[in-house]
Amino acid sequence: MTEVHDFGIAPVTCHTFDKNRTGLALSHNDSNVKIYKKSANKWQETDTLSEHGQRVTSIDWAPNSNRIVTCSADRNAFVWMLEDGKWKQVLVIPRINRAATFVRWSPKENKFAVASGSRLIAICYYDVENNWWLSHHIKKPIRSTVTCLDWHPNNVLIAAGSTDFKCRIFSAYRKEVDEKPGPSSWGSKMMFGALMAEFANGGGGWVHSVSFSASGNKVAWVGHDSSVSVVDSTKGNELLVIKDSFLPFMGITWITENSLVAAGYDCNPMLFSHTGGKLTLVGQLDQSQEKESGQISAMNRFKNLDKKATASETSTDLKTQHQNTITQVSVYSGTKADAGKIATSGVDGNLIIWDLKSLEKSIQGLKIS
C-alpha cells in the first residue's frame, strides 16, 4: 500500500520526479538539489546541483523536455539541462529583489512561473538569441509574498496563493510563446497580467498550496488557519470552505475531478470530496497502528538520539508513518483526473508513495471518486 523511502535526518522540503518516475530531485532545506536514480526500488544518488547560494525553496522537473527548474532564497532561478550525462544550468533573469518562493513549469513546458517575496510572479520564457530565460512580471493587485502557484491546463491561466490570505487567478498569456487563448470558465479577456478572479475565505491564514482540477474548472487551496477552500467556476465561482479539528495543511492536489488530498502538520494525508455542492472530509489515508514497544537496539537508541534528541522510542513515535510535518504532496502515477498513487515528503526526511487504489480497498468507508 505504501513505499517508505528514508533520506536521512534532514527535512525534505521539496521534491519532484521525472516522467518515468525513475528520477527524483529533492532538497534538504539547504542550497543543494540532490538527484537520484531508482534502482531495484532504492534511490541511488547520482548528482548534486549546487549553484544556489541559499536555501532551495522549490523544484520542478518537466516531464517531456526533461529540464529541471529550481528557485531559491538567493533570489535566483536556474534551468538545468542534461548534456552528456551532466546537468548544466541555463541563466534565468527573474528580476526579483526578494526570495524566490515557488516555481512551476507550464503544461506545454514553453514557460515557467516563479513566485517571490517581491509581491510578484515572474513569467519566464526562453530567449534563443541570448540563450537565457527572460521574465515578465505580474504585479497588481498582489500586495504580499506569493507562496504557491499552479497552472491551468490551458497553459495560460495561473493560480497564485499569497500571505494576504487570498487566492487569485491571473492570465499569463505571452504572445511570444502562446497561441491566442479561447475563452475559459474563468473569463475570456486574457491579456497578460489580467486578474481573472480573486477569492478570500474569510479566514486569516497564509495560503500554503493551490491546485487546479484536471478540467481547470475548479481551484482548491489550503491556508494556515486550518482551512481547505474550493471554488467551482461552472457554478458562478461558488466558494466552499471546510475547517475541522485538523492542523494546517502544507500541500494539496486533486486526484480526481471531485476528490482532493491535503497533507501537513497532522503528518497524515487526508482525503476530501467536492460533490453535490458540498466539501467534506472523507477520511485519513494513513491508518497505521501504534508501534509495539519492546527491546530497543543500541543502533536504534543512537538513531533516536540523532533524530529526536531522545533515546526513547515509545514516548515520541507518532501513530502515522510520517513522523513529522508533511511538506509537499504530489501525483506520482496517473493524473489529477485519475491518480493511482501520490507521493508525500516530510520534515522527518522520508518520502512516502501511497497506492490510492489499495488504500480504498483496505480502509473501510474510504471512497475515492
Q: What is the pLDDT of residues 79-135, one digit of tens each?
A: 999 999 999 999 999 999 999 999 999 999 999 999 999 999 999 999 999 999 999
Beta-carbon contacts of 350 under 8 Å, excluding residues fewer than 6 positions away, are 4, 5, 6, 7, 12, 321, 322, 323
State the cell numbers at 246.
Answer: 485538523
Give the per-residue pLDDT at 298: 66
Per-residue HEC secondary structure of the chain comes to CEEEEECCCCCCCEEEECCCCCEEEEECCCCCEEEEEEECCEEEEEEEECCCCCCEEEEEECCCCCCEEEEECCCCEEEEEEECCEEEEEEECCCCCCCEEEEEECCCCCEEEEEECCCCEEEEEEECCCCEEEEEEECCCCCCCEEEEEECCCCCEEEEEECCCEEEEEECCCCCCCCCCCCECCECCCCCCCEEEEEECCCCCCEEEEEECCCCCEEEEEECCCEEEEEEHHHCCEEEEEECCCCCEEEEEEEECCEEEEEECCCCCEEEEEECCEEEEEEECCCCCCCCCCCCCHHHHHHHHHHHCCCCCCCCCCCCCCCCCEEEEEEEEEECCEEEEEEEEECCCEEEEEEHHHHHHHCCCCCCC
Is the pTM higher than 0.85? The answer reads yes
Q: What is the pLDDT of residues 136-180, one digit of tens each?
A: 999 999 999 999 999 999 999 999 999 999 999 999 999 999 999
Task: Categorize the per-residue pLDDT at 303 as very low, low, confident or very high, splitting at 50, 70 and 90.
Answer: low
Half-sphere exposure of 282 (CA within 13 A, CB side): 23
Q: What is the pLDDT of residues 52-84, one digit of tens each?
A: 999 999 999 999 999 999 999 999 999 999 999
Percentage, residues of the chain above pLDDT 90:
85
